[in-house]
Amino acid sequence: MLDGRHALVTGGGRGIGRAVAAVLRRSGAVVTVVGRNQDSLADAVTGGAADAYQVADVTDEAALDAAVKRGIKANGPIDILVANAGHAESSPFLKAETGQFRRMFELNVLGVVHATRAVLGQMTSGGFGRVVAIASTAGLRGYPYVSAYCAAKHAVVGLVRAIALETAGTGVTVNAVCPGYTDTDMVAESIARITGKTGRSSTDALAGMLKANPLGRLITPQEVAATVAFLCSAEASAITGTTIAVAGGEM
């Protein structure tokens, strides 16, 4: 149980982030969700997935730091950080301009850096903390046409491993969860891009995505959230610097 703990979830207005917020709240934590879209964040609160929200772009370090401070003032120190905010862009490597790599790193990597910096000091001084980065199987293997995204998610996995070594013995654990293709808006957008570019049906596009997945279906956000909740528990205090793939056997 997470009674008395304050959890901060970035990108918490929808998809995996919202599912994570909901399961942490059901486990007893007070949950603050952070993101760019105020409407989706407010809906997460009114829908019972979170207790409070703060609007901030994780790529803006000053704005995110201010949002975290407001959250701490309202509900106390952050005990749990789930750095979930992220997005993917696709194109063949030779057509992926430098800006695409920069955008993928700023959101998927620096977003984790900024959020972790905002809370890690108080966690180590307080003797307890859970940091979980939502990476991807793209952080464990390569996929065609998403080289910038793969590079960024590999960087997240390396970042987690490094911070875990620096914080070992402080009561803080730092881990990454790596979902495979998950039933979210991001995957729906990817399917729409594939059908638009190739003329294939959405069923065929989805089948192509899942061909390497022995389970043969999309992962649910709730399955990812349950894994995160375990890593945030007291029982997971010996697990740090690791990655857990929630990917139907793909890895």
Describe the strand order of the beta sheet including 129-134 as a list of residue ranges.
52-55, 30-35, 6-10, 80-83, 129-134, 172-179, 243-246
Separation in Å, CA 157 to CA 58, 109, 192, 228 = 18, 9, 28, 15
In the chain, the percentage of residues whose pLDDT exceeds 70 is: 100
197 pLDDT above the threshold of 80: no
State mean pLDDT over 202-229: 90
205 pLDDT above the threshold of 80: no
Which candidate in 53, 145, 149, 181 is catalytic? 149
At 30, is the pLDDT very low, low, confident or very high (cuts 50, 70, 90)? very high
pLDDT tens digits, one per residue of 71-102: 999 999 999 999 999 999 999 999 999 999 99
Q: What is the pTM of this model?
A: 0.94
Dist CA 83 CA 8 (whole Å): 8
The one-letter code for the residue type at 118 is: A
DSSP state of 172: E
List the domains of the chain with CATH numbers: 6-182+219-246 (3.40.50.720)
Dist CA 145 CA 28 (whole Å): 41
Tell me whether residue 149 is one of the annotated catalytic residues.
yes
Q: How many CB atoms lie within 10 A of CB 144?
A: 9
The two counts, helices (H) then strands (E), for the chain are 9, 7
